[in-house]
Amino acid sequence: MMKRTIVLLLLFTLLVAGCGGALERRKQQVTIGVTPNQEVTLQPGGRLSLNASAKAIDEPLTAMSWSIEAITPPASGPAPQIANANCATVTLTIKDQDGRGQCTAELSVPTTSEPGVWRIAAMAESESKGTASAAFVLKVVAPERDTGNFRIEAPTLLTVDEAGEVLVTNTLVTINAEALSEKPMRELRYEWTAIASPDANLRLAGVNTQRLQFIPRAAGDYQFRVTATAQIDGREEMVTAEVLVIVEDSDRRDELVVFAGVVQPKVSRELVNLTGSVTYNGQAVSNVSYAWVQISGPTVALADATTAAPSFFAPVVAADTELVFELRASAMIEGRSVSGTSRTVVRVEPEPEE
């Protein structure tokens, strides 16, 4: 019985010693808490008060500090800043033999900062028992801007031309778009891109203007995106719109199908060759009468204007200029006269500066 009592006492002593060791290890911990302690969202120009409270058991705290680390950094622009990041005005005290610390700081986001995600952390250090840290996440978001309702007015769906005729292959298609805002717009720019096209050889004219033009060689759905960019209140703003164009097949039976050629980009003084073609029920036609007529743009002298392939020299222009030509063709087929028209566009750019 005595032996059993001695064994139990030994076990109890070891257990108490073990607990005492655990308590001693727990005493060596350094703890810290921060305010705010959860995710915060700020816009450029925003400010936020920071506060850190730390404690070290049974010994003084020697230092406290704040830090900032990028989680998702912006492509450009300054990072948020912390005033008193090294806790130069930190309050370190002793209470009940425990070291205590208090550090306040201020977080500011420069007005030129771009959106990003940051980790804001506070650290406390003791004399010999290690350090502790606590952190929260800062999200910098783009400010809500008054752009004066910056928008693009463009047709969502286009199936007919300005005259109300159904859009068909081998004819000129024009899409008009206009960027609008109640506020003044500076350095306004347009850019058109083709998202989908059944015509593998699609050529576009006016991709950097309000008006996009093309001549579809294949029937189907053509989808485009137009982007407008402008300076509004000193900031670059961007807006987009999409346009779906549905083109039907013009190769109908018993009709003369005229094609005036693709849209051509040219430079002042450059030789321009127009090329027309005519089919009837999908077959080439002989004995065709051709007549090319200039519809708009600076007047040019067409050579061989009564043939399928006239030519001219592009006029000298000071800015991008559009020339529109119409091919009028007629032929006698099976004892009857049939005719048709088609238009094409030549976009002339100024000569490059030397």
Q: How confident is the model at residue 222 (pLDDT cuts 50, 70, 90)?
A: very high
Neighbours of 33 (CB within 10 A): 14
Question: What pLDDT, on a 0 to 100 scale, did the predictor assign at position 252?
Answer: 57
Q: How confident is the model at residue 8 (pLDDT cuts 50, 70, 90)?
A: very low
User: CA gyration radius for the chain?
Assistant: 38
How much is the average pLDDT of 31-40?
93
Question: Which among 57, 60, 69, 66 is positioned nearest to 84, based on CA atoms?
Answer: 66
How much is the average pLDDT of 281-285?
78
Q: Which residues partner with 199 through β-bridges? A: none
Question: What pLDDT, on a 0 to 100 scale, did the predictor assign at position 165?
Answer: 85
In SS3 terms, 186-252 reads as EEEEEEEEEEECCCCCCCEECCCCCEEEECCCCCEEEEEEEEEEEEECCEEEEEEEEEEEEEECCCC
Q: What is the SS3 assignment for 292?
A: strand
Question: What pLDDT, on a 0 to 100 scale, did the predictor assign at position 109?
Answer: 94
Q: What is the SS3 assignment for 29?
A: coil
Q: How confident is the model at residue 32 (pLDDT cuts 50, 70, 90)?
A: very high
On whether the pTM is more than 0.85, the answer is no
Report CA torsion sign: 7, 12, 13, 18. Answer: positive
Q: What is the SS3 assignment for 41?
A: strand
Q: How confident is the model at residue 258 (pLDDT cuts 50, 70, 90)?
A: confident
How much is the average pLDDT of 224-232?
95
Distance, in Å, from the CA atom of 328 to the CA atom of 95, rounded to the nearest integer, reads: 100
Q: How confident is the model at residue 335 (pLDDT cuts 50, 70, 90)?
A: confident
Instruction: Give the tens place of pLDDT for each residue, 9-22.
Output: 344 444 444 444 33
Query: What phi and psi, each to the nearest 5 degrees, are found at residue 231?
Result: -90, 120
Element (H, E) at 19: helix 2-27
Cβ contacts of 314 within 8 Å, gap of 6 or more: 266, 267, 268, 269, 270, 271, 272, 300, 323, 346, 348
CB 289 within 8 A of CB 329: yes
